């Protein structure tokens, strides 16, 4: 497994739009969580008039068309799997990315019987996966409405392989810290 | 009590403090209004604009301004224009690690020189944070007599760890990996309290017992 894991990467996407300022980042790590590629954007603050004119559509435009396209397009180390934690980004990310894309979230459910166990959920394309033997199962969702069991199984095998050597959700917290530190640096300079 | 004396005293107290104003009829006549008001009715639809009756005299009354109703066939087609946002695609900064195959691993390749400031190395320098998984690991990690497990951190690449610190406030383990390492085998790191005399804490690498 160790030899298989080497050379494989996971891409994490984070787009933040709190307090009227938008910024995004992509972190590609190997299966140990060690960064291989990192991209981030300058913060974007739309003007008042733009907010009034475009309303909610502005958020979508900035997040999906400006930030997501820019950061995903800039990545040079291709991941085998893209992970986002914002449901709104799943479908647009799937359109841009050349590899599998999922929405990943923690659960507080009791562990499933064995590592690799997969449980289909009522939401279309949503599954519960026991990624490793010592944690609560994770919930992942596939993009689109189609319920593809085959895609779910292949995605689950990637997640199980990576979970043996890294914490699958941890890179998001590192990205958040890096983005806020970069934001502070920018405002302080 | 002598009432006359009391009156005199009060009169002294208020002497000069009461001002008397005069009023003559004809000045500031009180205006009387009726509570009943006449309601003015205004149509919500604006009246047809007939030119001439007011401005040009009765002879011009027949000149009515107007035109066909705005039916889809008669109206000019609207030409939607995409309003250009002043929000431009953001500049993307970052770096990537050079491919390790046959080269020096871990070398940082800044994408743009100008913004490749110290913040770019930030993500590389940030540790990975592991939360304890003791709750789910009970019965799956070997336990010894005379000790109480306090925390279990998993997965940790033992041969790749450059530095690790226990965050006592949050109960998490901060792990810095050596990015030059090629190790990929993970283990669990168990923290136990020893009950024997002298006691103390002990860290121990351990495997997860797999159940079939």
Domain count, chain A: 1
B59 vs B28: CA distance, rounded Å: 50
What contacts 24+ positions apart, CB below 8 Å, involve A122-126? A125/A152
On whether residue A136 sits in a domain, the answer given is yes
A100-145, pLDDT tens digit by residue? 999 999 999 999 999 999 999 998 899 999 999 999 999 999 998 6
Is B6 exposed, middle or buried, given 0-12, 13-18 or 19+ CB atoms closer than 10 A? exposed
On whether residue B47 sits in a domain, the answer given is no
B5-36, pLDDT tens digit by residue? 777 776 666 666 555 455 554 555 555 555 66
- Sheet containing strand B161-167, strands side by side: B128-130, B172-177, B161-167
Distance from CA of A47 to the nearest CA of B (A): 8
Q: Is any Cβ of chain B less than 8 angstroms from the Cβ of A53?
A: yes
User: What's residue A18's pLDDT?
Assistant: 82
**In sequence order, what E strands does chain B have?**
92-97, 108-110, 128-130, 147-157, 161-167, 172-177, 186-194, 201-206
Of the ranges A37-51, B27-41, B99-113, B124-138, the best mean pLDDT one: B124-138
Q: Are residues B132 and B180 in the same domain?
A: yes
Measured at the CA of B119, the angle between CA B113 and CA B124, to 5 degrees, comes to 105
Q: Is any Cβ of chain A less than 8 angstroms from the Cβ of B150?
A: no
Beta bridge partner(s), residue A138:
A106, A129
Nearest-by-Cβ selection for B123 from A35, A135, A136: A35
User: What's residue B13's pLDDT?
Assistant: 65
A170 vs A186: CA distance, rounded Å: 25
> Residue B118 pLDDT > 70, yes or no?
no
CB contact under 8 A, B96 and A36: yes
CB contact under 8 A, B124 and A76: no
Q: How confident is the model at residue A50 (pLDDT cuts 50, 70, 90)?
A: confident
Give contacts of B133 with chain A, Cβ < 8 Å: 134-135
User: What's residue A49's pLDDT?
Assistant: 84
- For the ranges A63-67, A168-172, B201-205, the lowest mean pLDDT is seen at A63-67
On whether residue B9 sits in a domain, the answer given is no
- Domain end position, chosen among B125, B143, B174: B125
On whether residue A189 sits in a domain, the answer given is no
A144 vs A156: CA distance, rounded Å: 17
Q: Are residues B192 and B133 in the same domain?
A: yes
Instruction: Report yes or no: A92 and A73 within 8 Å, Cβ to Cβ.
Output: no
B92-97 and A138-141 strand pairing: unpaired
CA dihedral for A26, A27, A28, A31, sign (positive or negative): negative
CA-CA-CA-CA dihedral for A39, A43, A49, A50, to nearest 10: 10
Of the ranges A38-52, B77-91, B111-125, B150-164, the best mean pLDDT one: B150-164
A133 vs B155: CA distance, rounded Å: 11
For chain A positions 81-100, those within 8 Å of chain B (CB to CB) are none
Residue A81 maps to which CATH number?
Answer: 3.30.2170.10
Instruction: Report yes or no: A152 and B90 within 8 Å, Cβ to Cβ.
Output: no
On whether residue B160 sits in a domain, the answer given is yes
On whether residue B173 sits in a domain, the answer given is yes
Two tokens, residue B106: 């871990």
B96 vs A75: CA distance, rounded Å: 8
The model's pTM: 0.72
On whether residue B58 sits in a domain, the answer given is no
On whether residue A37 sits in a domain, the answer given is yes
Measured at the CA of A88, the angle between CA A34 and CA A61, to 5 degrees, comes to 100
If one compares B72 and B40, the residue with the highest pLDDT of the two is B40
On whether residue B52 sits in a domain, the answer given is no
On whether residue A153 sits in a domain, the answer given is yes
In sequence order, what are the residues at sequence separation of 6 or more whose Cβ sits closer than 8 angstroms to the Cβ of residue B86? A47, A50
Closest by alpha carbon to B186, among B161, B212, B155, B162?
B155
Give me chain A's average pLDDT, please. 90
CB contact under 8 A, A135 and B92: no
- For the ranges A117-121, B175-179, B195-199, the lowest mean pLDDT is seen at B195-199
Could you tell me the CA-to-CA distances from B40 to A126, B43, B54, B118 in Å, in that order? 63, 10, 22, 73
Q: How confident is the model at residue B108 (pLDDT cuts 50, 70, 90)?
A: very low
Domain count, chain B: 2
Q: Is any Cβ of chain B less than 8 angstroms from the Cβ of A54?
A: yes
Q: Is A14 left (phi over 0), alpha (psi -120 to 50) or beta?
A: beta
For chain A positions 116-175, those within 8 Å of chain B (CB to CB) are 132-136, 163-167, 170, 173-175
Q: Are residues B116 and B143 in the same domain?
A: no
A162-172, pLDDT tens digit by residue? 999 999 999 99
| SS3 state at B127 | coil
Mean pLDDT score, B84-90: 58
CB contact under 8 A, B126 and A135: no
In sequence order, what are the residues at sequence separation of 6 or more whose Cβ sits closer than 8 angstroms to the Cβ of residue B204? B189, B190, B192
On whether residue A40 sits in a domain, the answer given is yes
Nearest-by-Cβ selection for A34 from B137, B179, B208: B179
CA dihedral for B101, B102, B106, B107, sign (positive or negative): negative
On whether residue B59 sits in a domain, the answer given is no
Q: Is any Cβ of chain B less than 8 angstroms from the Cβ of A78?
A: no
On whether residue A188 sits in a domain, the answer given is no
Closest by alpha carbon to A7, among A120, A179, A161?
A161
CB contact under 8 A, A40 and B94: yes
CB contact under 8 A, A170 and B129: yes
Q: State the ipTM, two decimals.
A: 0.90
Two tokens, residue B87: 């929000």
Please give the interface size between A and B, counted as residue pairs whose CB atoms are below 8 Å apart: 140
Q: Are residues B154 and B184 in the same domain?
A: yes
Domain that holds residue B120: 95-125
CB contact under 8 A, A136 and B136: yes
Domain that holds residue A17: 2-183
Mean pLDDT score, A8-13: 96
If one compares B208 and A5, the residue with the highest pLDDT of the two is B208
């Amino acid at each position: 497994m160790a030899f298989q894991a080497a050379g494989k990467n996971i891409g994490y996407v984070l787009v933040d739009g709190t307090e009227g300022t938008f910024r995004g980042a992509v972190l590609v790590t190997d299966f140990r969580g060690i960064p291989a590629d990192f991209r981030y954007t300058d913060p974007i603050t739309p003007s008042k008039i733009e907010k009034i004119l475009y309303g909610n559509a502005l958020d979508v435009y900035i997040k999906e068309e400006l930030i997501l396209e820019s950061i995903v397009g800039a990545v040079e180390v291709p991941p085998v799997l893209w992970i986002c934690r914002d449901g709104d980004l799943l479908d647009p990310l799937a359109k841009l990315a050349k590899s599998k894309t999922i929405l990943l979230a923690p659960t507080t459910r009791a562990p499933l019987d064995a590592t690799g166990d997969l449980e289909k959920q009522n939401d279309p394309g949503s599954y519960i996966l026991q990624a490793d033997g010592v944690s609560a199962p994770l919930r992942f969702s596939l993009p689109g409405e189609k319920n593809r069991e085959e895609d779910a199984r292949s995605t689950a095998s990637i997640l199980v392989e990576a979970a043996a050597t890294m914490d699958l959700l941890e890179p998001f917290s590192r990205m958040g810290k890096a983005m806020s530190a970069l934001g502070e640096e920018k405002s302080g300079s | 009590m002598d009432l006359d004396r009391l009156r005199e005293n009060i009169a002294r107290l208020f002497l000069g403090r009461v001002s008397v104003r005069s009023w003559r009829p004809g000045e500031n006549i009180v205006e009387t209004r009726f509570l009943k008001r006449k309601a003015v009715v205004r149509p919500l639809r604006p009246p047809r604009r007939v030119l001439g009756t007011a401005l040009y005299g009765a002879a011009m009354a027949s000149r009515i301004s107007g035109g066909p109703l705005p039916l889809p066939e008669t109206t000019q087609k609207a030409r939607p224009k995409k309003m250009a946002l002043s929000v431009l695609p953001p500049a993307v900064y970052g770096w990537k690690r050079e491919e390790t195959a046959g080269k020096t691993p871990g070398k940082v390749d800044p994408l743009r020189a100008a913004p490749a400031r110290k913040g770019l190395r930030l993500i590389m320098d940030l540790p990975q944070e592991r939360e304890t998984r003791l709750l789910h690991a009970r019965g799956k990690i070997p336990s010894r007599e005379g000790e109480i497990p306090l925390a279990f951190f998993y997965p940790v690449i033992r041969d790749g760890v450059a530095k690790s610190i226990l965050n006592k406030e949050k109960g998490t383990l901060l792990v810095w990996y050596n990015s030059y390492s090629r190790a990929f085998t993970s283990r669990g790191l168990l923290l136990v309290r020893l009950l024997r005399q002298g006691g103390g804490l002990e860290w121990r690498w351990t495997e997860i017992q797999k159940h079939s």
